Amino acid sequence: MAEAASVAAESLAGSRARAARTVLGQVVLPGEELLLPEQEDAEGPGGAVERPLSLNAGACSRVRVVCGPGLRRCGDRLLVTKCGRLRHKEPGSGSGGGVYWVDSQQKRYVPVKGDHVIGIVTAKSGDIFKVDVGGSEPASLSYLSFEGATKRNRPNVQVGDLIYGQFVVANKDMEPEMVCIDSCGRANGMGVIGQDGLLFKVTLGLIRKLLAPDCEIIQEVGKLYPLEIVFGMNGRIWVKAKTIQQTLILANILEACEHMTSDQRKQIFSRLAES
Amino acid sequence: MKETPLSNCERRFLLRAIEEKKRLDGRQTYDYRNIRISFGTDYGCCIVELGKTRVLGQVSCELVSPKLNRATEGILFFNLELSQMAAPAFEPGRHSDLLVKLNRLLERCLRNSKCIDTESLCVVAGEKVWQIRVDLHLLNHDGNIIDAASIAAIVALCHFRRPDVSVQGDEVTLYTPEERDPVPLSIHHMPICVSFAFFQQGTYLLVDPNEREERVMDGLLVIAMNKHREICTIQSSGGIMLLKDQVLRCSKIAGVKVAEITELILKALENDQKVRKEGGKFGFAESIANQRITAFKMEKAPIDTSDVEEKAEEIIAEAEPPSEVVSTPVLWTPGTAQIGEGVENSWGDLEDSEKEDDEGGGDEAIILDSIKMDTGVEVSDIGSQDAPIILSDSEEEEMIILEPDKNPKKIRTQTTSAKQEKAPSKKPVKRRKKKRAAN
């Protein structure tokens, strides 16, 4: 019914704006406009129906809705900027209309402040390392941003090493800056990644899935072999197991997880566990 | 954009894996990736996928005046372009070394080998000849561009049909496709390039390197051959020193691979021809399976997921002891060994074994599944067998693989099937048998 009602609502772009609620879980394309729940009632059937005027007109229930990745505010509607499935999360507690976002597949990384990424050192110039993180520009990393580093005590970083760090500055106007230290001055797992092991690239969506709390894949992988693994939000994964064979198996499994259903995955893991 | 630098960690890992005869995607040393050929609706248009490397080939023709010093021959023109979508490092308008090298190699392979009969392209001597133009575009770069490009070029040329022409005295009539069916080009043979990547100063060799392997390789040897075992072009780059027997071994491997690829090409051409004749639907749109937009599908790739020791022990337990034909090699100098009384013997063995392994083919993915199901067997002590070998926990231990006569399928998915390097001339016989059986 809401669908039929909003058919009458036309946006500037000429396309029909749809209610976000009805499109949840479906594929949306860039350029579509979505109506938020309270706006559907406002549009009303045909817009010509008379509504009783309320005395406190300004106090229509405003719900704070968070616009996630892939969506943008356009007037009082949401404009889709990436193609993918529309998702919604209810607010846990308190007020708020929850979060809307678009689940899209992407391989190209755009630096975001606060993201933990794996970078490759490409150059050492004076006090700064240039680190390639897969974005449009190499990030800069100062040699003082390591735990326990002082002017006399420099960290042992060579060109070609792998670094796990987080962004402190990342916007589209400046080159990104990263550090290997958290706000308390501790490394917290960041820094130079060890010598052996394999680095490979996956899509960003898979990384987010693997980093979700209670990820089954990671638990099952952990039961297979003892391993060390580092996930970078820029799509890079570093993995190390006892032998080369095991490392290759793990790398192939993680890459294939993207395309497997959970049943197929369970099959593969059970077969691996036997052998 | 600059290309992503290769970290020390990756380089080290790749080289170590190659020393242990392991490749990132689970292939064997002499294995090609899956080759997929699809045709467009026009004649002469095709896309060749070698793993993830994709090349689009398009052939077109035009009537022009011939070159002055070759008045009775048609003109051939080859052009390979590296599209910016193939890799971030490819930028427009820059003639990189890679591009020049690939173009030169393609030209030598296709033009100098005289695979196309240029005399048949002449319409009126000295005045009008056909100019055939082959345009290749690299759509995705995942290693081994030259192989994919050469396959695409020859497939497009074989698929192409030029308009029919008839000459009566002074009158030349050019028929449209509606008036008379277009005529195929006259192609003598199909030269195909096979690439070999060398590592650690020529100690290790891989066929069909992918992009990661190409980054760490020392040198590259490209052999262009046709199915009649005629070498059309050889090029060695990277400045590595190759021994004579290494080059000979590579040429033998190339012969086998080219035969397989030529078979695949002929089958693909035949299929397309059949579909067109029966009036079915053809073209790129048909070769893409209909899928829902949110389905993620990937082709099955064989992954060797078992522990090497257990695999080898299982094979040993089930395989027969090696036949007596295998005699000990006589090592003359490092890199040169001799088995039997002379070259003729090994050639004889080769011909026989090739024929007998022809029926041993099977699907890779299915083989893996069947083996996986069998392995519930607990690894037992192999001391009871009188087969050669092995097994300890040490990673440096070389795996010795038995004569794969009985179980070509099983051995196909094994890794580390390294024979001792002391007998290089013995290796090609064994290797080829396994590969042909699997493919």
Work out whether strand A33-35 and strand A18-19 pair parallel, antiparallel, or are unpaired: parallel
Task: Tell me the pLDDT tens digit for each residue of A242-254.
Answer: 999 889 989 988 9
**CA nearest to B211, candidates B413, B4, B364:** B4
Burial class (CB in 10 A: 0-12, 13-18, 19+), A110: middle
The predicted model gives B328-347 an average pLDDT of: 69
Structural domain span for residue B161: 24-282
Give B90-94 contacts, CB < 8 A, sequence gap 24+: B90/B141, B91/B1
Structural domain span for residue A252: 198-274
Report CB contact under 8 Å: A244, B20. Answer: yes
DSSP string, B127-182: TEEEEEEEEEEEEE-SS-HHHHHHHHHHHHHHH-EEPPEEEETTEEEE--TTTS--
**Is residue A34 very low, low, confident or very high in pLDDT (cuts 50, 70, 90)?**
confident
The predicted model gives B70-80 an average pLDDT of: 92
The predicted model gives B8-17 an average pLDDT of: 92
Highest-confidence segment of A14-28, A96-110, B336-350, B362-376: A96-110
From the list A27, A199, A253, the residue facing B9 with the nearest CB is A199
**Residue B198 forms part of a structural domain:** yes
**Residue B42 forms part of a structural domain:** yes
Whether the CB of B26 is below 8 Å from some CB of chain A: the reply is: yes
Same structural domain for residues A89 and A134? no
**Residue A3 forms part of a structural domain:** no
**Residue A249 forms part of a structural domain:** yes
Q: Which of B1, B9, B416 to mutate to test the interface with A (most CBs of A within 10 A)?
A: B9
Whether the CB of B375 is below 8 Å from some CB of chain A: the reply is: yes
Q: How far is A161 from chain B (nearest CA, A)?
A: 6
pLDDT at A70: 85
**Residue A23 forms part of a structural domain:** yes
The beta-strand segments (E) located in B156-269 are 161-162, 165-168, 171-174, 183-184, 192-199, 204-207, 219-225, 231-237
A33 phi and psi angles, rounded to 5 deg: -110, 140
* Type of residue at A71: L
The predicted model gives A217-228 an average pLDDT of: 86
Q: Tell me the two tokens of residue B248.
A: 């000979």
**Residue B113 forms part of a structural domain:** yes
Burial class (CB in 10 A: 0-12, 13-18, 19+), A271: middle
Specify whether the backbone of B150 is left (phi greater than 0), alpha (psi in -120 to 50) or beta.
Answer: alpha
pLDDT at B62: 92
Q: Which residues contact A250 (CB under 8 A, 6 or more apart)?
A: A221, A224, A225, A227, A229, A239, A241
Nearest CA in chain A to B212: A200
CATH number assigned to the domain comprising residue A178: 2.40.50.140
Percent above pLDDT 90 for chain A: 29
Residue B305: list chain A partners with CB under 8 A: 249, 252-253, 268, 271-272, 275
**Residue B214 forms part of a structural domain:** yes
Given strand B231-237, what is the order of strands in its sheet? B204-207, B192-199, B219-225, B231-237
* Type of residue at B320: E
**Is residue A13 very low, low, confident or very high in pLDDT (cuts 50, 70, 90)?**
very low
Q: Which of A23, A137, A244 to mutate to test the interface with B (most CBs of B within 10 A)?
A: A244
Q: Is residue A22 predicted with pLDDT exceeding 90?
A: no
Q: Provide the number of structural domains found in chain B.
A: 1
Contact A250, A227 (CB under 8 A): yes
Q: Give the residue, B363 or A140, on which the prediction is more confident.
A: A140
Write the DSSP symbol of residue A16: B
**Is residue A218 very low, low, confident or very high in pLDDT (cuts 50, 70, 90)?**
confident
**Residue A54 forms part of a structural domain:** no
Same structural domain for residues A95 and A23? yes
Residue B229, Cα to own-chain centre: how many angstroms? 15
Q: Is residue A10 predicted with pLDDT exceeding 90?
A: no
Distance from C-alpha of A191 to C-alpha of B50, rounded to nearest angstrom: 38
Task: Tell me the pLDDT tens digit for each residue of A227-244.
Answer: 999 999 999 999 999 999
Write the DSSP symbol of residue B110: I
Give A5-12 contacts, CB < 8 A, sequence gap 24+: A5/A40, A5/A43, A5/A44, A5/A45, A5/A46, A6/A35, A6/A40, A6/A43, A8/A43, A8/A45, A8/A46, A8/A47, A9/A35, A9/A43, A9/A47, A11/A77
Nearest CA in chain A to B24: A248
How many Cβ contacts (< 8 angstroms) between chains A and B? 89
**Is residue B257 very low, low, confident or very high in pLDDT (cuts 50, 70, 90)?**
very high
The predicted model gives B139-168 an average pLDDT of: 93
**Residue B376 forms part of a structural domain:** no
CATH number assigned to the domain comprising residue B234: 3.30.230.70
Report CB contact under 8 Å: B9, A136. Answer: no
Element (H, E) at B108: none
Same structural domain for residues A90 and A127? no
Q: Is residue B346 predicted with pLDDT exceeding 70?
A: no
CATH number assigned to the domain comprising residue A244: 3.30.1370.10
Q: Tell me the two tokens of residue A77.
A: 């509607």
Contact A34, A68 (CB under 8 A): no
Q: Is residue A57 predicted with pLDDT exceeding 80?
A: no
**CA nearest to A163, candidates A130, A186, A136:** A130
Distance from C-alpha of A269 to C-alpha of B416, rounded to nearest angstrom: 23
Whether the CB of A150 is below 8 Å from some CB of chain B: the reply is: no
Q: Is residue B137 predicted with pLDDT exceeding 90?
A: yes
B179 phi and psi angles, rounded to 5 deg: -75, -50
Please name the residues between 400 and 429 in chain B that touch chain A, using a CB distance below 8 Å.
415
Contact B415, B308 (CB under 8 A): yes
Q: Is residue B304 predicted with pLDDT exceeding 50?
A: yes
Contact A256, B298 (CB under 8 A): yes
In this predicted structure, which of A15-24, A239-248, B77-86, B369-378 has the lowest mean pLDDT? B369-378
DSSP string, B282-338: -SHHHHSPP--TT-----------S-HHHHHHHHHHHSPPPPTT-PPPEEEETTEEE
**CA nearest to B133, candidates B102, B156, B113, B155:** B156
Contact B21, A243 (CB under 8 A): no
Q: Which of A171, A192, A213 is the last residue of a domain?
A: A192
**Is residue A61 very low, low, confident or very high in pLDDT (cuts 50, 70, 90)?**
low
**Residue A6 forms part of a structural domain:** no
- CB atoms under 10 Å from CB of B326, counted, come to 14
Q: Which residues contact B286 (CB under 8 A, 6 or more apart)?
A: none
Same structural domain for residues A97 and A31? yes
Report CB contact under 8 Å: B13, A244. Answer: yes
By residue count, chain B amounts to: 439
B364 phi and psi angles, rounded to 5 deg: -65, -45
pTM: 0.70
Burial class (CB in 10 A: 0-12, 13-18, 19+), B305: buried
**Residue A79 forms part of a structural domain:** yes
Q: What is the mean pLDDT of chain B?
A: 77
pLDDT at B202: 83
The predicted model gives B126-137 an average pLDDT of: 93
The predicted model gives B403-412 an average pLDDT of: 47
Q: Which of A103, A128, A153 is the last residue of a domain?
A: A103
**Residue A228 forms part of a structural domain:** yes
Residue B298, Cα to own-chain centre: how many angstroms? 21
Q: Provide the number of structural domains found in chain A.
A: 3
* Type of residue at A188: N
**Residue B206 forms part of a structural domain:** yes
Percent above pLDDT 90 for chain B: 41
CA dihedral A118, A120, A125, A127 (to 10 degrees): 30
**Residue A108 forms part of a structural domain:** no
**Residue B12 forms part of a structural domain:** no
CATH number assigned to the domain comprising residue A35: 2.40.50.100
